[in-house]
Structure 1
């Protein structure tokens, strides 16, 4: 829920830093109250903090009113909404992996290190087997 809330706030406001500033004190304090024995290093607190940060970055990356999105489309000289549409599949893929292999297992008590390894393996597999090479890209070996 924290990931979804952070993503929504960041998408709506266009700022990841503002989202982090708003949601971190609220959600981390709540997570400490939910698990007083775990403390700041407890699994619930770590998962909540990670969800705030990841959701804020996700929402900011997808937001058409984000300063980074506007500036990157202007710097490249491409249509702004086209830039937003082309970034969506990448951001959504990482968000799904983040929630499915990070947040949900953390709630179930899986070690954060195992979640991190599962996420790296999943994203590497997605890039390797689903990704397509850029036909305009010239590798350094082709230049030789």
Structure 2
């Protein structure tokens, strides 16, 4: 796949298509959303990673207009690469056709669609927090320590606002 993308100059083509629209600051967030959509549609995180890595890695180097050895150390490049992996796993987790979703609903004896419906609010909450406090903030130059702190704080806040304690009888 990587060789095909290289021969076809896929990264150059995508950079030319997105010039003036896609900025390096938005690249991690857009990559996360794209990887999530592909993985949700295919039900495979591994296939999504195999598709996205050979396209996005050279594309991000070209979009940032830096030398490859400098870009690799860039927080934007690192979070773009991380967004491929996490977006792929996020989409796979939410996908009703994913093998892991099917296996977990079958193994637990739950109705498959009920299982998908119950896991979506949790996944969408954490995915939204990762998108906003992770990829957008790092893309726009905020420190990753601030990003991590705000992400953890927002997860705790979401648990306090929307979480429900178990009745005492179920804790034993």
TM-score, L = length of structure 1: 0.89
Q: CA RMSD in A?
A: 1.7
> Equivalents in 2 of 1:3, 1:137: separation in Å?
41
In structure 2, the residue corresponding to 1:7 is in which secondary structure?
helix
Q: 1:135 offset after TM fit, Å?
A: 3.1
> Equivalents in 2 of 1:96, 1:107: separation in Å?
15
Runs of 4+ off more than 2 Å: 134-139
Number of the residue aligned with 2:55: 26
> Equivalents in 1 of 2:85, 2:159: separation in Å?
23
Number of the residue aligned with 2:34: 5
Check if 1:58 corresponds to 2:90.
Answer: yes
Number of the residue aligned with 1:75: 107
In structure 1, the gaps of 5 or more residues are: none
| Residues 61, 43 of structure 1: alpha-carbon distance in 2 compared, 3 angstrom cutoff | same
Q: 1:137 offset after TM fit, Å?
A: 6.6
> Equivalents in 2 of 1:96, 1:133: separation in Å?
23
| 1:117-136 CA-partner distances (Å, limit 9, x unpaired) | 21111112211332112337
Instruction: Please identify, of 95-104 and 26-35, the stretch whose mean Cα deviation from structure 2 is larger.
Output: 26-35
TM-score, L = length of structure 2: 0.75
State the number of aligned residues: 140
Number of the residue aligned with 1:124: 156
